[in-house]
Amino acid sequence: MVNSRPDDYHAFVLAHKNLIGGNHKDNLFGGDLTSNAESRDEFIASLDTNNVGCYISGHDHMHHRSLVSDSSGDYKFQQLITSSNSYKFYTPRAGDDGRETMLQEELYTIGYYIFTVDGPRVTVDFYSSSTGADYGSVRLESYTEQPFYLRERFGYSLNGSRFEIAQGESYTAIFDGYNDTTAKILSGTNSNDETDLVGRDLTKTVNTGWVDGDLVDDTASDVFTLWGLVDNLSLYDEELTGNLPDEDESQVTDTYTLSISYNPRKIRASNLLRGGFCIAARDEDDNWVNAVDLNDGGTKTFIRGSWKSDYELGTYGVDPRTKTVWAVLNHESDFVAKLI
């Protein structure tokens, strides 16, 4: 039972049928979305209140990630319908009865998922491949080997929070704390305007997580992780031609400003002057570097003082008055206040 596990254990619930399908409207609780509504709502409330990371299902043969709520809207959790690993590919139909918030969708591809559990944090990488035929709703009769590409990365942490950011909304609602460290986003807007096949706007779910800073050398804060700022995945247009996908999905995010508090007792005052003390991020080789060095574009510029709204991508600084470090970024990572 999900409610009997230790607090620091992850939980995932797997079943063949969806709770709300993209194509199929029969589901785990019956032949349509209104079947056994009381039992369905109790199930959803149980998964939500017991911090289940994801409800994972098949049945629809498409990559389809969403938030599903109960009838009241008081309880909501993440559903992942997994990409096809068969000759069948389904096309979504309208009709979600208002309880589903769409996040991501990719149709007509063959895919797999890697779940990485790192203490309280879980990161999921979705890879997919072309059917080998022209893009569209084909029936796979024969498959010649095609390359797989990273299409989406998402995650969560047992010690973090989830924020729903609709299209056009600001990221400034994102604020979280752990031990004596606080992290918040000072600027940035969800600029994505993509929809799923049936025309629903795709929402971003931004998740946060934490690791004790004492596990990293020369840090002055705990380690803060962000997932969900990358643009939504939406590959479905039947007018497209060729073997798609044909590349990794971009992991560049909207431009935003991140601020992290630091413990002044863990850093010499003289190190605040030269730009070596900053928000650091973990690169692909697992090294800690200045977070702005991992941006796509921008100009690296150090400021001693508070962030201002006209600062551009690549600007970073330390504010001794508020005991925070900040940076204007366009990528996700693990972040920490650290001397580089």
* Helix extents (H) in the chain: 37-49
> Which of 62, 43, 42, 66 is CA-nearest to residue 54?
66
Q: What ranges make up the beta strands (E) of 215-309?
A: 223-227, 234-235, 256-261, 277-282, 288-290, 301-304
Question: What are the residue ranges in the chain where pLDDT is below 50?
Answer: none
Q: What is the pLDDT of residue 222?
A: 98
Q: What is the pLDDT of residue 1?
A: 65
Cα Dmax for the chain: 68
- CB-based burial, 187-222: b 16+ in 10 Å, e otherwise: bbebebebbbbeebebbbbbbbbbbebeebebbbbb
* Contact yes or no for 311/298 (Cβ under 8 A): no
Q: Which two tokens stand for residue 6?
A: 């230790």
| Contact (CB, 8 A) for 213 and 336 | yes
Query: What is the three-class DSSP state of 210?
Result: strand
For the CA atoms of 25, 30, 32, 37, the dihedral, rounded to the nearest 10 degrees, stands at: -120
Q: What is the pLDDT of residue 289?
A: 97
What whole-number distance in Å separates Cα of residue 14 and Cα of residue 287?
35
**What pLDDT score does 282 carry?**
94
Helix (H) or strand (E) run with residue 123 in it: strand 121-129
pLDDT for 142 equals: 62
Instruction: Give 3-state DSSP helix, strand, coil % of the chain, rounded to 5.
Output: 10, 40, 55
Residue 65 DSSP SS3: strand
- Other CB atoms within a 10 A radius of the CB of residue 338 amount to 28
